[in-house]
Amino acid sequence: MTYLLKTLRSYARLSIVATFVLASACDQPAGPEPITQYDILFVSSANGSEGQDIYRMSSDGTGRENLTKLSSVAFPTFELAVNYRSMALAPDGRTVAFETNRDGCPGVWGMNIDGTAIRKLSIGAFNATRCNYFALWSPDGSKIAFTTSREGRYSVYVMNADGSNPHNVSSQVDQDGFNWPSGWSPDGRVVFQHPVAATFQTYFVKPDGTDLKLLFGRNGDHQPEWSRDGSKVAFIRDTENGSGLFVMNADGTNVRPLLSQPGQVVSWQDGFQNDYNRWSSDGRRIVFVVRVNAQNELHAIDVDGTNHVVLTSYPAEFNGWAPDGRVTFSSNVSGSYDLYLINADGTGRVNLTSTSTSDEMRALWVKR
């Protein structure tokens, strides 16, 4: 169990790819927008306890508001510190699905971005076979994919956005390992990861569980991430002594390395995180993680392999691209975890939260 959870943390929020030409209906890259039109949702332990809550604040760090107001839960024999390990913003930008243990075993919950209408979406009592993790919205916002242990093994389920009609879509490969969703294809299929030996295989399947297919033709290619316009795919390729960052066209052609060196370890992220796209809104740059001296550094690179920049020479977690084209991240570089903004070239770091007694991380940008 511990190994599987660590594996899940290392590859959480894995995005999606298809080895077919994407439909012309894919959204085109968007330009930067002023962040003054946005607020930030984030996870914080600012209430002074060991537990966490989801907060909302203005883009300049002011106007903090606790949206969930539940930092601990009392059970007959112990008190559980509440945590919120991942959040995902619905396509309409008005609803958030999140994972929390606020009633015991981790479950998938939902709420409006102003903190109203908090409700549990995944069923399950507090026991080891009823835990639910990592919600990911379908492109049209009508369904949510997630991982669950409700059958005694870790399966990928799909449910309606209101939590109804939960059903297993990974049953054909459930007998081995920890399966988890990495996203959705543009045509509405669930993309999920399946462990094979020491690496992973990527599958996609219709939301009713039929027509299961492999996305990659080889083991060792995983963590696929579509560009925002759907024309390219970035992914991680395992090698004999490390891993590298690769990119290809959406139809599987023109596979090329962006960063691949012997002994190097490249990934998207380590640890629980939100539903982020690593591609910039203009499709020109990609943010990724390089393991250096036992710490995860954030790097950025152009899609043609040039302009490789080290964004943080210290441990950091990617928190998504800000609307104005900067990179949002969390780090304890100043002592406790804070939220930061930094330019895509690594200059101009700004501390958004400046806290010394609490940890704040996992930001989502929401339009007012």
pLDDT in tens, 11-57: 433 333 333 333 333 445 567 889 999 999 999 988 656 789 999 99
Q: Give the rounded distance of the alpha carbon of 273 from its chain centre.
A: 5
The number of distinct structural domains making up the chain is: 1
- Start-to-end C-alpha separation, the chain: 41
CATH of the domain at 132: 2.120.10.30
pLDDT digits (tens, 9 = 90+) for 160-196: 999 999 999 999 988 767 898 988 887 888 989 888 8
pLDDT digits (tens, 9 = 90+) for 305-355: 999 999 999 999 999 999 999 999 999 998 889 999 999 999 999 999 988
The answer to whether residues 286 and 300 touch, using CB atoms and an 8 Å cutoff, is: yes
**Which range of residues forms the domain containing residue 79?**
2-367
Nearest to 297 by CA among 312, 319, 308: 312
Nearest to 237 by CA among 217, 212, 209, 211: 217
Q: What 8-state DSSP symbol labels residue 364? A: E
pTM: 0.86
Q: Which residue has the tokens 């390729």?
A: 237
